Amino acid sequence: MRVISGKYKDLTIETLRDRSIRPTTDRVKESIFNLIQQDCKGSIVLDLFSGTGALGIESLSRGAKKAYFVDNSRKSLSILKRNLSKIDDNYVILERSYEKSLPLIKEKVSLIFIDPPYDMKNYYNILNHLINSNIIDANTTIVIEREKTEKKYKIPFGLYLYKSRSYGGSTIDIIKVGHSVVIPGTFDPFTKGHEFLVEQALKEFSKVNVVILNNPNKTPMLSLKKRLLIIKDFVRKFSNVDVYYYPGLTIDYCNDNNIRFIVRGVRNNADFNYEEEMAKWNEKNGGIKTLFFYAKDIDISSTSIRKSMEYDKTKK
């Protein structure tokens, strides 16, 4: 292993290949730093379960201001100290469990790496400790490296999954501080009214997921592939908006993805009365809250546009 970029480029990183240390390969490490390159320079870094220290050292090489290395394995600490002896930089080694180390950090941390050993994979607990500590704020980015075959884990309230990418047998999750929201629908087609909902949702939430759902009572005019392409084209100008298809219910999507809020648009009182009943059901059965926004233009709807398109077809 080696340092990939920066002032320590090509520095050799010692490692120990056994079940107590899970080294980050150079390819995965390069992919991680491509995802977070804007977050590294000038940052305060926390390398939890640091092992060899490869991620923290790479951060320092790329301009991080300071790095904390946390580990309580004697094997890991021995290798970590040898690797750190090769650099001249601002770092602190905390030879304790992560639970005991977090209270010792007296400043905000902007970049956190979580790559636990094979026998410590309760990501929810780790993230929950971070949420309850005093070291993270709205500018903190959390990077989790895990095996691609691992089951999906829950994310505590107050954090959201910003990005997730897989490279070979590894998956990299980028987690941010804030809340995400779902805008569900069949979107047949996606309209300016839906775009307005996205704009409003982004004012209240850090991340918006536009989710195409199946409605057994409707036969879509546009194919799923076409709807996905149209929506992605509409929302391309927004940051922090993703588009997905989900074959189940909205409440199941929210629970599967640790999301607690839904945004719905209403055009009139009849719309609101209908949506309110569904909102009550979602909150009662899944703890999912619904926020309503009145439509910018009450005359625009997917149904009216679809009918107009069908009428144009018959005229031709």
DSSP codes of every residue in 158-204: TEEEEEEEEETTEEEEEEEES-EEEEEE--TT--HHHHHHHHHHHHH
CATH architecture of the domain covering 26-177: 3-Layer(aba) Sandwich (3.40)
- Looking at residue 311, its pLDDT comes to 41
Q: What is the C-alpha to C-alpha distance for residues 109 and 16, in angstroms, rounded to an integer?
A: 28
Q: What is the C-alpha to C-alpha distance for residues 278 and 285, in angstroms, rounded to an integer?
A: 11
Structure tokens belonging to residue 82: 């040898």
- Looking at residue 183, its pLDDT comes to 97
- Looking at residue 169, its pLDDT comes to 86
What is the chain's percent helix, strand, coil content, to nearest 5?
A: 35, 25, 40
Distances (CA, A) of 187 to 197, 231, 240, 274: 12, 8, 19, 18
Rg over CA atoms, the chain: 23
Global pTM reads 0.82
- Looking at residue 179, its pLDDT comes to 93
Question: In CATH terms, are 26-177 and 180-315 the same topology?
Answer: yes
Each domain of the chain, given as residue ranges in start order, spans 26-177, 180-315
- Looking at residue 23, its pLDDT comes to 66
Q: Cβ(221)–Cβ(310) under 8 Å?
A: yes
* SS3 at position 27: helix
In the chain (316 residues long), the average pLDDT of successive 10-residue segments reads 93 77 77 88 95 94 96 93 95 96 96 85 92 94 91 88 88 94 94 93 95 87 95 93 94 90 92 92 93 76 49 48
Q: Cβ(36)–Cβ(65) under 8 Å?
A: no
CATH class assigned to 180-315: alpha beta
- Of 154, 181, 172, 174, the closest CA to residue 256 belongs to 154
Give the full edge-to-edge strand order of the sheet including 111-114.
Answer: 91-94, 66-70, 44-48, 111-114, 141-147, 170-177, 159-167
Q: Cβ(33)–Cβ(26) under 8 Å?
A: no
- Looking at residue 67, its pLDDT comes to 97
Residue 51 DSSP symbol: T
Q: Cβ(182)–Cβ(152) under 8 Å?
A: no
Structure tokens belonging to residue 146: 């895990």
How do beta strands 44-48 and 111-114 pair? Answer: parallel
